[in-house]
Amino acid sequence: MTERIDGHTLLIGLMAYPIRHSMSPTMHNNAFAKLGLNYAYLAFEVGNDKLGDAVNAIRTLDMRGSNISMPNKQKVIQYLDKLSPAAKLNNAVNTIVNDNGVLTGYTTDGTGFMKSLEDEGLNILGKKMVLSGAGGAGTPIAIQAALDGVKEISLFNRDDPSWENAERNVKIINEETKCKATLYHLEDQEVFKRELSDCAIYCDATGVGMKPLEDLSLVNDPSWFHKDMIVYDTVYSPRETKLMKIAKSAGVEHVFNGLGMMLEQGAEAFKLWTDKDMPIDYIRELIFSDDDKK
Ligand code: NAD
């Protein structure tokens, strides 16, 4: 790494809090090294309080850009000059590109999710999706799936502060896309079971299954699943969540964790900054072989 850094190295940041656990610096720095690109990617622990100064520093230091994660994905918008159409619809940004002092915000989580399915040779366009969660992951997944042509989305959220966000997501999808979205209470288990019975894909974007909720799953009865559906958990640590185990026990063939989405959202940001394709198979191999993260 040190051999690559010189007076011309372009800096890319990651601004979030907490962030020390992130795999993004490993992913991007290894990809830069593999392609011989003169960039460096560093994580900066920045919360809402210092975000304005930190984003201004992208201009001051002539950084190439930054990733943005929780709790800054929405708050960052006020400091940017432009937004991509998807970032506007999501009202959230996870990637900033600096073009000569003009900062544009993008969101690559939704496209990352859709691309990860394409990588597996799976097509959900024109089909029905059941989705739980309407936060930083659930929102871009729902909006991108609708923009790309998923026919119907049944969104389930529990009665908590993100319910309002879920209402907003459904409204935007119904107004701005051809997809028909309906919001249901997660507590309404009979409806949840019914909606799962004829869907092409169930995606859990709630974080249930990840520490400290690693012993939990929103679906506990394997009979709620059917073999030819896709079950997708946005969690990638642990690599196999309780939901994934239950889906496999039901004979579901296409069961995924969030690694593919994580890789593809990173690859799209990488392309925006460098105009080069991330060597994704190389990076996947590198991350998959890291047993500590499993
Ligand atoms: P968030 O806090 O913004 O939203 C959480 C959502 O889950 C809300 O809709 C909330 O109502 C729901 N929720 C939370 N706890 C719940 C519970 N116990 N029961 C039912 N619903 C519950 O979080 P986020 O940023 O959207 O992250 C959610 C998950 O997605 C996390 O596991 C995160 O690691 C993962 N994620 C993965 C990627 C990826 O690239 N694979 C990207 C972003 C987030």
- Report the distance separating Cα 4 and Cα 26, nearest Å: 15
Q: How far, in Å, from the CA of 132 to the mean position of ligand 1?
A: 9
- Which of 95, 115, 206 most suits a substitution to test ligand 1, by most atoms within 8 Å of the C-beta? 206
pLDDT of 2 reads 54
pLDDT of 4 reads 80
Q: Which atom of ligand 1 is nearest to the CA of 235?
A: 32
Sheet harboring 102-106: ordered strands across? Answer: 39-45, 10-16, 65-68, 95-99, 102-106, 82-83
Which residue is closest in CA terms to ligand 1's atom 25?
A: 136
Amino acid at residue number 277: D
Q: How far, in Å, from the CA of 185 to the mean position of ligand 1?
A: 16
From the candidate CATH numbers 1.20.120.80, 3.40.50.20, 3.40.50.10860, 3.30.70.1520, the one assigned to the domain spanning 10-107+260-288: 3.40.50.10860
Which residue is closest in CA terms to ligand 1's atom 17?
A: 208
- Report the distance separating Cα 212 and Cα 183, nearest Å: 27
Ligand 1 touching residue 262 (CB < 6 A): yes
Q: What is the pLDDT of residues 243-267, one digit of tens each?
A: 999 999 999 999 999 999 999 999 9
Ligand 1 touching residue 260 (CB < 6 A): no
272 neighbors 256 (Cβ within 8 angstroms): no
Q: Assign residue 155 a region: left if phi > 0, alpha if psi is -120 to 50, beta otherwise?
A: beta
Q: How far, in Å, from the CA of 254 to the mean position of ligand 1?
A: 21
Domains 10-107+260-288 and 110-257 equal at CATH topology level: yes
- Report the distance separating Cα 10 and Cα 37, nearest Å: 9
SS3 call for 258: coil
pLDDT at 116 over 60: yes
> What is the residue extent of each domain of the chain?
10-107+260-288, 110-257
Q: What value does the mean pLDDT take over residues 156-161? A: 96
| C-alpha closest to that of 199 among 235, 222, 224 | 224
Q: How far, in Å, from the CA of 139 to the mean position of ligand 1?
A: 10
Ligand 1 touching residue 135 (CB < 6 A): yes
Active site amino acids: 73
Q: What is the pLDDT of residues 57-71, one digit of tens each?
A: 999 999 999 999 999
pLDDT band at 290 (very low <50, low <70, confident <90, very high): low
Q: What is the pLDDT of residues 69-108, one digit of tens each?
A: 999 999 999 999 999 999 999 999 999 999 999 999 999 9
Ligand 1 touching residue 234 (CB < 6 A): yes
pLDDT at 292 over 50: no
- Report the distance separating Cα 38 and Cα 41, nearest Å: 10
For the stretch 78-86, contacts whose Cβ atoms lie closer than 8 Å and that sit 24 or more positions apart, written own/partner, are 78/52, 79/51, 79/52, 79/55, 79/103, 80/55, 80/104, 80/105, 86/110, 86/111, 86/140, 86/143, 86/144, 86/147
pLDDT at 110 over 80: yes
Buried b (16+ CB within 10 A) or exposed e, 284-294: bebbeeeeeee
- Report the distance separating Cα 69 and Cα 81, nearest Å: 18
- Report the distance separating Cα 12 and Cα 41, nearest Å: 5
pLDDT at 18 over 60: yes
- Report the distance separating Cα 73 and Cα 17, nearest Å: 11
CATH architecture for residues 110-257: 3-Layer(aba) Sandwich (3.40)
Which residues have CB under 8 Å from 208's CB, separation 6+? 216, 217, 218, 243
The two beta strands, 65-68 and 95-99, are antiparallel
Find the helix or strand (DSSP H, E) in which 249 lies.
helix 242-249
Which residue is closest in CA terms to ligand 1's atom 29?
A: 207
The two beta strands, 230-233 and 201-204, are parallel
CA distances to 84, 107, 259 from 206, rounded to whole Å, are 25, 19, 15
- Which of 70, 113, 131, 234 most suits a substitution to test ligand 1, by most atoms within 8 Å of the C-beta? 234
